[in-house]
């Protein structure tokens, strides 16, 4: 027993020791965990001891600026990851201990960060941490960095090649049943920081030495040409690139792929190597040939026009399968979605060729506007996009002079953007942008199309002085940054040199860029004494909408360009001016005098060069309609005829003009043969069709078909004629079939039957034949998908988001859109769980909501799902529905009566 008792005591002591040891070990582990957690917390949130720390602000501090980057990236396409290292040379402008730069979604380890003097002396980093809210990486030096000195920071990092088409991402295509990957960069506006730590603001320009490491079966591309290729172990190759020019981080670019290319040379002196890259079958099939040809001609035009040579030795243009934007103007390495770049003459419709030329011209224009001279900050996006869009029209016109692009593109673009800018939800071109969340707001149609339209207006006012001022602007700010006031100053200097002391460009243009919308100019003539009263007010589809008045009181400085049927003039009281000279309306209302005969019409905004709408007194509208409905209709230029159609029907939308005035004007279209007026008519008649689609007056729109008959027979179905004739044919055929012109429908059905029996059709005609040559089956397919949604999602064949995107591409008719919207409304919680609503889906599904019932249904939907009500696309959809309902309240009865009279010769509606 005693023996047993003694053994029990020993075991008890041993057990107590073990328990004590485990307790101590547990305590140590807890303490270590707390310390590590504290360190990790500090690595994420930063130094809490600093009052008003610079990393709490949305913008980078100005104490340090980057001068040069040495960057190496090694993407693994199969594993979808990349590793990298960067060394950044900094110049110190103000003493600081904190180095603040951008980094987002990058893994950085503690031993991978260093700081040294430019001459190599090591400096101690006391701490570093990430601040995710502003996507900052902060390095804290033990000693203060000194003004006027240069320093070098080094960082190693890892990241993922995601497939979200932002930052450094992975794309793919399939060839011979094999998926092939490529790595592509898309850094604009704020995603360079996803590829490497950097000072990711447009004013933080620097030079770059880039090394791209890739497998030997791939090739790499960057902004410059390859200086040296180095073979490394494991089948890797390192391509070392020449140093770039000084530029912003968002313009740095990389592509790693197995693509092939076609090559040429461009530039005034033939010194720029030009290559267009794509999948091998697209290159051998000749689908890059047109892009190569048009790029060569456009770049030469820009060098001649802007008096500054393209500064790089090469230009690569790459067609990638997946891209989040249509194209990107990376300096020396333009990247485009392949659908926007490839053109097969035997397979592509005629409009595709123009789309390729326009894209190329726009991105190449950015080599000067955006790349050479860059906005100071993202509130100036409209400056680079508006100028690039303006220049691109001239670039395409130089490359394809028979297309008459200058004569028609701006009017097309103007009509589109005036629609957008007529909403009370519009905004000024120059917006306040503080951080990442605001940047998306400025990349909209206004920056591109309104910006270009305003440049066209100013170009018209200044004439040749405008291009002279643009050249001044580019020369003064090349390799630097500029704001809109810098452009206005250069244009004013050029105007004064040319004797144009009457124009202070800033005073004029601030009224157009710093306040939202545009004016409707109303011209009221006194036919007895020849006086003309011209007034302006903010044009809105809903004039009663609650819109805050701008600091400039919603008054614009409006350039007026008058013309008339006779040789009369419009002038101020202090002297006559030619009817084609510019008069300025700078107040809400001004009086002018006129020598125009009382029996002659007066037209303002000749060729629609001004960014505004024009209304007239009823007599002047009648005089114009009478001339248009006569053999003299071409007295009014085709651009102005298009403008009159667009203005008249949109003034009906705003309640400023009786529907009969616009409809009476449109009667002249039976005489019209040119493209621009028919393009304007297609848009406004399409709106009428949408408004009346659910009424028994929709068939009365066959009146539109009778207006089309003469031009329909003249153009026919055969693919022939100049480029604009071919485009006009597509517009006229589509309208004729849409409005039930019997012969058009008969031909469409015959050609569809021939196609079904193995025949061929001209690619441009195919869409019309498929749409109008047979009964629609789309609704059945949409309904089938909706009925099987849960099966398709639960089986893993589709994600919910993929399914919604697929439906967005399929829906076309009002019935299909209503079907999908009702499905979403009834299955909302299921469809958005773990998913997001694709941008544009709600907008598309509700674009034909026009009734009070539609409006109530949509408002009930938003009440049930209040989180959706704050989305900008949803707000815009709601506003548009309200506009449609308002139009029907104001105009439906009058339009239906007019159509009935035209069709049946009586004032009652069709039964």
Query: How does DSSP classify residue 871?
Result: S
What is the rounded distance in angstroms from the CA atom of residue 901 to the CA atom of residue 909?
8
Consult the annotation and say whether 214 binds a ligand.
no
520's tokens: 């409707």
Q: How, if at all, do strands 64-76 and 207-215 pair?
A: parallel
> What are φ and ψ of residue 4, in 5° steps?
-60, -45
Concatenating the DSSP letter of every residue in 398-442 gives HH-GGG-HHHHHHHHHHHHHHHHHTSTT---SS----SHHHHHHH
What is the rounded distance in angstroms from the CA atom of residue 897 to the CA atom of residue 906?
9
What is the rounded distance in angstroms from the CA atom of residue 422 to the CA atom of residue 649?
13
* Burial of 818: CB neighbours in 10 Å, binned 0-12, 13-18, 19+: middle
Phi-psi region of 129 (alpha: psi -120 to 50; beta: other; left: phi over 0): beta
User: Coil, strand or helix: which one is 598?
Assistant: coil
Nearest to 254 by CA among 159, 177, 391, 153: 159
What is the rounded distance in angstroms from the CA atom of residue 517 to the CA atom of residue 427?
7
The reply to whether omega before 189 is within 30° of 0 (cis) is: yes
Nearest to 600 by CA among 533, 520, 525, 661: 525
Residue 672 burial (CB count, 10 A):
26
| Span between the terminal Cα atoms of the chain, in Å | 117
> Residue 363 catalytic?
yes
559's tokens: 């350039």
Nearest to 485 by CA among 455, 509, 459, 457: 509
Dihedral angle over CA of 7, 11, 17, 23, nearest 10: -170
- Beta carbons within 8 Å of 42's beta carbon, 6+ residues apart: 127, 129
Exposure string over 87-98, b if 16+ CB within 10 A, otherwise e: bbbbbbeeebbb
What is the rounded distance in angstroms from the CA atom of residue 816 to the CA atom of residue 660?
32
Is there a contact between 333 and 255 (Cβ–Cβ < 8 Å)?
A: yes
Residue 303 burial (CB count, 10 A):
19
Query: How does DSSP classify residue 142?
Result: E
719's tokens: 């693919």
Is there a contact between 569 and 576 (Cβ–Cβ < 8 Å)?
A: yes
569's tokens: 């003039």
User: Coil, strand or helix: which one is 221?
Assistant: strand
What is the rounded distance in angstroms from the CA atom of residue 315 to the CA atom of residue 164?
26
Q: In DSSP terms, which residues pair with 169 in a beta bridge?
A: 162, 184
What is the rounded distance in angstroms from the CA atom of residue 483 to the CA atom of residue 430?
10
Consult the annotation and say whether 102 binds a ligand.
no
Nearest to 425 by CA among 122, 843, 844, 95: 843
Consult the annotation and say whether 892 binds a ligand.
no
User: Catalytic: which of 363, 407, 672, 674?
Assistant: 363
Is there a contact between 675 and 727 (Cβ–Cβ < 8 Å)?
A: yes
What is the rounded distance in angstroms from the CA atom of residue 582 to the CA atom of residue 559?
6
Nearest to 517 by CA among 608, 431, 425, 643: 425
Task: Give the C-alpha distances (Å, rounded to integers) separating 531 from 331, 527, 528, 592, 602.
Answer: 55, 8, 8, 6, 12
What is the rounded distance in angstroms from the CA atom of residue 451 to the CA atom of residue 462?
16
What is the rounded distance in angstroms from the CA atom of residue 368 to the CA atom of residue 331?
10
Binding residues for Zn(2+): 362, 366, 385
Catalytic residue numbers, as ranges? 363
Binding residues: 362, 366, 385
């Amino acid at each position: 027993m005693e023996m047993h008792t003694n053994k029990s005591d020993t075991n008890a002591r041993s057990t107590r020791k073990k328990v004590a040891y485990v307790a101590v070990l547990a305590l140590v582990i807890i303490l270590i965990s707390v310390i590590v957690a504290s360190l990790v917390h500090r690595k994420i949130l930063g130094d809490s001891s600093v009052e008003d720390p610079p990393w709490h602000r949305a913008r980078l501090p100005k104490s340090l600026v980057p001068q040069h980057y040495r960057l190496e990236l090694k993407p693994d396409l199969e594993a979808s990851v990349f590793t990298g290292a960067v060394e950044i040379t900094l110049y110190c402008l103000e003493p600081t201990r904190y180095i603040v730069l951008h980094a987002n979604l990058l893994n950085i380890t503690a031993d991978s960060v260093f700081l040294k003097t430019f001459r190599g002396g090591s400096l101690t980093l006391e701490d570093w941490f990430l601040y995710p809210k502003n996507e900052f990486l902060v390095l804290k030096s033990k000693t203060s960095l000194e003004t006027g000195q240069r320093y070098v920071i080094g960082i190693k990092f890892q990241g993922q090649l995601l497939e979200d088409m932002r930052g450094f991402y992975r794309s793919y295509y399939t060839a011979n049943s094999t998926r092939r990957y490529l790595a592509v960069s898309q850094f604009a506006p704020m995603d360079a920081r996803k590829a490497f730590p950097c000072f990711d603001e447009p004013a933080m320009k620097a030079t770059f030495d880039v090394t791209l490491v890739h497998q030997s079966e791939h090739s790499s591309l960057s902004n410059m040409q390859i200086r040296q290729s180095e073979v490394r172990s494991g089948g890797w190759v390192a391509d070392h690139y020449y140093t770039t020019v000084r530029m912003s981080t968002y313009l740095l670019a990389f592509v790693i792929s197995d693509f092939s290319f076609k090559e040429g040379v461009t530039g005034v002196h033939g010194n720029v190597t030009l290559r267009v890259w794509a999948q091998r079958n697209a290159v051998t099939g000749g689908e890059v040939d047109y892009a190569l040809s048009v790029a060569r001609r456009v770049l030469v035009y820009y060098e001649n026009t802007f008096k500054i040579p393209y500064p790089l030795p090469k230009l690569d243009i790459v067609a990638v399968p997946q891209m989040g934007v249509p194209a990107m103007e990376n300096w020396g390495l333009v990247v485009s979605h392949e659908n926007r770049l490839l053109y097969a003459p035997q397979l592509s419709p005629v409009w595709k060729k123009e789309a390729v030329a326009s894209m190329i011209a726009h991105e190449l224009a950015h080599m000067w506007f955006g790349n050479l001279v860059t906005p100071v900050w993202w509130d100036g996006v409209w400056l680079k996009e508006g100028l690039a869009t303006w220049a691109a029209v001239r670039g395409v016109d130089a490359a394809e002079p028979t297309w008459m692009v200058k004569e028609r593109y701006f009017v097309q673009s103007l009509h589109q953007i005036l629609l957008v800018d007529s909403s009370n939800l519009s905004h000024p071109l120059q917006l306040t942008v503080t951080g990442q969340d605001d940047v998306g707001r400025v990349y909209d149609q206004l920056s591109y199309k309104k910006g270009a339209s305003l440049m066209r207006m100013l170009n018209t006012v200044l004439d040749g002085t405008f291009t002279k001022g643009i050249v001044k602007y580019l020369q003064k700010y090349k390799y630097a940054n500029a704001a809109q006031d810098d452009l206005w100053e250069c244009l004013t200097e050029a105007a004064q040199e040319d004797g144009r002391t009457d124009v202070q460009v800033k005073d004029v243009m601030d009224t157009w860029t710093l306040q939202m919308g545009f004016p409707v100019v109303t011209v009221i003539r006194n036919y007895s004494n020849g006086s003309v009263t011209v007034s302006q007010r903010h044009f809105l589809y809903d004039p009663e909408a609650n819109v805050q008045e701008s600091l400039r009181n919603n008054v614009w400085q409006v350039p007026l360009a008058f013309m008339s049927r006779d040789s009369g003039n419009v002038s101020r009281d202090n002297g006559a001016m030619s009817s084609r000279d510019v008069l300025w309306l700078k107040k809400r209302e001004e009086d002018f005098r006129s020598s125009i005969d009382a029996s002659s019409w007066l037209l303002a905004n000749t060729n629609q060069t001004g960014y505004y709408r024009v209304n007239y007194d009823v007599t002047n509208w009648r005089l114009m309609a009478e001339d248009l409905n006569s053999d003299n209709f071409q007295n009014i230029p085709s651009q102005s005829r298009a403008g009159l159609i667009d203005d008249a029907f949109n003034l009906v939308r705003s309640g400023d003009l009786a529907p009969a005035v616009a409809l009476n004007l449109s009667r002249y279209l039976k005489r019209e043969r040119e493209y621009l007026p028919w393009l304007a008519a297609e848009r406004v008649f399409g709106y009428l069709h949408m408004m009346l689609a659910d009424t028994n007056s929709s068939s009365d729109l066959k009146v539109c078909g009778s207006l089309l008959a003469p031009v329909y027979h003249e153009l026919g179905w055969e693919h022939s004629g100049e480029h604009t004739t071919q485009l006009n044919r597509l517009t006229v055929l589509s309208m004729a079939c849409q409005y039930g012109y019997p012969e058009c429908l008969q031909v469409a059905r015959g050609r569809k039957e021939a196609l079904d029996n193995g025949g061929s059709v001209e690619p441009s005609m195919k869409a019309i034949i498929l749409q109008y040559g047979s009964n629609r089956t789309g609704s059945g397919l949409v309904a089938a998908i909706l009925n099987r949604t849960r099966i398709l999602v639960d089986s893993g064949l589709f994600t919910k988001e993929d399914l919604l995107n697929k439906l967005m591409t399929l829906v076309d008719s009002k019935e299909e859109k209503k079907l999908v919207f009702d499905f979403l409304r009834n299955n909302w919680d299921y469809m958005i769980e773990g998913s997001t609503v694709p941008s544009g889906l709600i907008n598309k599904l509700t674009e034909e909501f026009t009734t009070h019932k539609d409006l109530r249904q949509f408002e009930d939907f938003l009440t049930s799902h209040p989180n959706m009500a704050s989305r900008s696309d949803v707000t815009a959809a709601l506003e548009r529905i309200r506009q449609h309902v308002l139009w029907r309240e104001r105009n439906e009865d009058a339009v239906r009566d007019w159509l009935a009279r035209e069709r049946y010769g009586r004032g009652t509606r069709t039964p």
